[in-house]
Amino acid sequence: MSDADTKSSTADTMVNIVRHLYPDALTRTYIVPPVHCNRVPYNKAKVPGTDQEVLVLPSSEQLQQQQGNIQADLAQQHVLHNLQQLGDSGKEVMFVVSELNFKDYLNKPFYAKQTGKLPKPANLPKEHRHHGKQGDFDILVIHRKHGILVGEIKSVGKTEASRADTEVVKVIDKAVKQLDKCEVHARHMVSDIAPGLTVRKTLFLPYVSRAQLQRILDDENNAKLREAVCRSLGASNTAEAVLLCCCSDQLSLPASYWHVTPAVLSQLSTWWQHRMACTVDTLLSDDSYLDIVAR
């Protein structure tokens, strides 16, 4: 069997799996995985007089050290629930994939050999190798009409200590670099299916208001950050860049994130129109959409 035949056969198999697992793939929104699992810190301890081990709660000091992961999980869950509500209410045809590690892409043992020559992080073009093979997508949205959206979710602002502008600046600076890396990998991964497919980027900041973000980007001391954010998001000015980010103003309240009111949904939909629904990507057919999802 030729390489082309092998590739076609493998693609057909993966698409059939998608059709089986997600029978409404061409008509609705799917969150993958459907349930976000929080990272729960624990210790192991031996039962006295035996070789058996049991799980025990960590110390308060260990819990404090795990606060970053705990806050990140809460932010992830918060954003995913809001995106699910947005997709369901707007009848959006899309897959919202969370926490996809680059190394896990096309890396299942039962088809790893058949996909060896497909675009993967390991075979990035030479001009992009400085971005590295390691990393992950916080959020990867594959939309039937609008192409791809990569997003970074940051929990900065959740605690009092992280609400200062200086802390937000540090986090956003790092997030923009990660967004740029994710864009490179996303474009590479679909380059054999839909070269030139639209890939957009956004920041999800569920605990930072648009007013604070605007103030930070307008600060002359943050000129380099402002330039980096505008460039990465494709914005011509700070006002536009802020509109392209999903902040606390566009999301449900943290204390009751599961309660997405009509007012919140309206704000979220407006952000979506600015960031994604402004254009239709003509490169995707039903078949190519499912091919990308199957990857």
Residue 55 maps to a domain: no
DSSP 189-208: HTTTTSTT--EEEEEEETTS
Contacts 24+ apart (CB under 8 A), 56-64: none
**Domain total in the chain:** 1
Residue 278 maps to a domain: yes
Averaged pLDDT, 1-8: 54
Residue 26 maps to a domain: yes
Q: What is the pLDDT of residues 234-266, one digit of tens each?
A: 999 999 999 999 999 999 999 999 999 999 999
Residue 285 maps to a domain: yes
Whole-model pTM: value is 0.86
Quote the tokens at residue 236. 């011509």
Residue 51 maps to a domain: no
Looking at the DSSP bridge assignments, the partners of residue 43 are 56
Residue 101 maps to a domain: yes
- Give the C-alpha separation, 271 to 279, whole Å: 14
pLDDT at 100: 87
**pLDDT value at 73 more than 80:** yes
Residue 46 maps to a domain: no
Residue 96 per-residue DSSP state: E
Q: Which residue has the higher pLDDT, 135 or 23?
A: 23
Averaged pLDDT, 15-24: 94
**pLDDT value at 291 more than 90:** yes
pLDDT at 230: 98
3-state secondary structure 204-229: EECCCCHHHHHHHHHCHHHHHHHHHH
Q: Which domain holds residue 87?
A: 3-36+74-294
Residue 56 maps to a domain: no
Q: Could you tell me what percent of the chain has a pLDDT over 90?
A: 60
Helix then strand then coil, in percent of the chain rounded to 5, is 50, 15, 35
- Neighbouring C-beta atoms of residue 226, cutoff 10 Å: 19
